[in-house]
Amino acid sequence: FFGGIGAASRNGVLVKGSNYLEALAQMDTIVFDKTGTLTKGEFKVTEIRPSGMSGEELLRLAALAEHYSNHPISLSIRAYEKAGGRMNLSSIGKNEEISGHGVRTEIDGSVVLAGNGRLMEAERIAYEPCESIGTVVYLARDGVFAGTIVISDAVKEYAAQAIRDLKQAGVKRTVMLTGDRKAVGEAVAEKLGLDEVFTELLPSDKVEQVERLLDGQAEGRKLAFVGDGINDAPVLTRADIGIAMGSMGSDAAIEAADVVLMDDDPARISVVVRISRKTLSIVKQNIVFALGVKALVLGLGAFGMANMWEAVFADVGVSVIAILNAMRALKTK
């Protein structure tokens, strides 16, 4: 197991214990969070659809409303607005973040809402649904729909290959969880070749979904969850194996995870799965070899056919051979 953990670290994967390495060898289902895991998490504004105001005013309201949020979508809106040099923070008043929905902010004495369709529905605001591919942010000012901003996130270059490699490594089921709309989630899942996708999920919904998937697991088989955000920490803890992104991932996700991908490359998962299976194979070889030789020498000793040299070999010799065999795990490529 030390050899297997060493081989994983050489390949850019931190495995926090031998029990997790063993669990990886038994994994047949892997669940991915979308943003920052299969996609780059580099959001860019691609569409601005104002309603009753100019596009510049809509973007200004969105940037001010999202100013105190650290969500990647908020950062992309602020970056796009900042490029135009129109930010004036003195107009921002009280700000409230509504988990899983969006934000409510006072701007120039008006109440501005920015978030998803659920936020508009919860506030009983009549809005125009947008079917564009991407993350859609709806805005309203003083209870009146103000427009839509569409933000797109690019899929990681090697994500599709990573899914294919996992299938070749023996993983039978690949699943994606996302808070995005159904059209966006299904488009990404089809592009990557995933087996299942669950969309429009709140952070708490992701835990419940993983619970259901765990209940459907076959006896002795394991489920892994891959995420990077602070709201993924509960799911990483609940899964049999939690895998976090080490570069862009939040501290909470890295702390909660059992395995950390140091360069955020999902292709590393199939590598560590192969390492874990090779490691477990070597473990079984060593156990069979050691017990077999000891049983043989013990039997010979019972009939007076084994001398001191055979006994030394059965003890020290077998240990040395087992260690040399275990060192093969270090050379896994």
Which member of 33, 180, 228, 265 is catalytic?
33
- pLDDT at position 65 is 86
Q: Rounded distance, CA 226 to CA 236, Å?
A: 7
Residue 153 phi, psi (nearest 5): -125, 130
**Which of 22, 6, 19, 24 has the alpha carbon at shortest distance from 226?**
24
165 given a catalytic annotation = no
Token readout for 208 is 């419940």
Residue with tokens 């040099």: 85
Of 227, 225, 260, give the one whose Cα is nearest residue 27. Answer: 225
Q: Tell me the mean pLDDT per 10 residues along the chain, length 333.
A: 92 93 93 88 83 87 82 73 62 84 89 91 91 85 92 85 92 91 86 92 88 90 90 90 85 90 90 93 94 93 87 91 90 69
At CA 49, angle to CA 48 and CA 53, rounded to 5?
110
Q: What is the pLDDT of residue 208?
A: 92
The pLDDT value given to residue 259:
95
Give per-residue pLDDT as tens, 103-127. Answer: 899 988 899 999 988 899 999 999 9
Give the per-residue pLDDT at 141: 93
CA of residue 119 relative to chain centroid, distance: 26
- Please give the pLDDT value at position 86: 58
Rounded Cα–Cα distance for residues 201 and 34 (Å): 11
Percentage helix, strand, coil for the chain under 3-state DSSP, each rounded to 5: 45, 25, 30
Give the per-residue pLDDT at 165: 93
CA 109, 135, 133, 129 dihedral sign is negative
